[in-house]
Amino acid sequence: MGVSDLNRNVEVSQIAQKQAGFFRIRFPVPAGDLPASLVPALRQIAERWGNSEFRCTGRHELEIPFVRECDVQQVLSSLQQLGFRPTGESQRPNVVACPGTDHCPVAMAKTKDLCLEVEAFLLKAEKGGTLPPEFKVAISGCPNECTQVLVNDVGFIGAIGSYGGQKLQGFELAAGGSLQGDGRLAARIAFVSPEDVISTLRDVLEIYRQRAVKGTPFHEFFFETGPEEFSTLLLEQLKRRMWFFQI
């Protein structure tokens, strides 16, 4: 990684603290799983350039606080060597998921691998310039919604749907949630098979790309369009890849 890349990362990865000259560095932990093998190296970074502390956010992220401005680039470089992608207060996509059937006794769906797939897809979309600003996705393995799906731009909620007399495992698709301003809960608009989550998300973003004013937050565009109209547009996009079931 060149110096110009590091300088660009400094702009989006350092979050100024109220203490003059100090910053906290935020980086995502994919699917919320931190390999134990990385803990010693992370500890060294926090002890050497921070104040020996980490802070957990509510979006599968860690922060190293009290990093001096002169040490920011060194911290970024060290994190990137461990495979982390510092984000700071940038508008990069963010995906959270509960443990799903890997851990949870009430989960109906696998979520952790799907979380990684969704994040990889969104990072590609980000590079292509097709993402809404501050786009957030949440995945829950059951209707308990431990990941607060309904306050995310797009969410997938593990559920059982019925079709042709058969019970099928999949996800309810929710869209339009946000905690900004007065807040707004997402609308549940469809049922999606696990295999169709990525393609459904692609079509959701394609509708946004075609119809939204660039820079408009997704939740604003969704409710300006209306849940019923958006569902119609999505059905046109999905054709045979979307199932609308009785939940």
Q: What average pLDDT does the segment 15-35 reach?
A: 90
pLDDT at 208: 95
- Give me the chain's average pLDDT, please: 87
- pLDDT of 130 reads 80
Indicate if the pLDDT at residue 239 is higher than 90.
no
Closest by CA position to 59, among listed 40, 87, 100: 87
Domain ranges of the chain: 3-81, 94-241
Question: 94-241 sits in which CATH class?
Answer: alpha beta
Residue 1 near residue 77 (C-beta atoms within 8 A): yes
Report residue 141's pLDDT band, with 50, 70 and 90 as the boundaries. very high
How far is it, in rounded angstroms, from Cα 223 to Cα 229?
10
Range 3-81 has CATH code 3.30.70.3340: yes
pLDDT of residue 143: 92
Exposed / middle / buried, residue 114 (Cβ in 10 Å: 0-12, 13-18, 19+) = buried
Beta strands 136-140 and 154-163: pairing type?
parallel
Neighbour tally for 160: CB within 10 Å: 15
Looking at per-residue pLDDT, the higher value among 15 and 92 belongs to 15
Mean pLDDT of the 201-229 span:
94
Question: Per-residue pLDDT averaged across 154-176, rounded?
Answer: 90
- pLDDT score, position 85: 76
- pLDDT of residue 4 exceeding 70: no
Q: What is the pLDDT of residue 218?
A: 95
Lowest mean pLDDT, pick from 5-9, 11-15, 61-65, 155-159: 5-9
68-126 confidence digits (pLDDT tens):
999 999 999 999 899 887 765 555 678 999 999 998 999 989 999 999 999 999 988 88
Q: Reply yes or no on whether the pLDDT at 160 is more than 80.
A: yes
Residue the block writes with tokens 């059951």: 142
The pTM score is 0.82
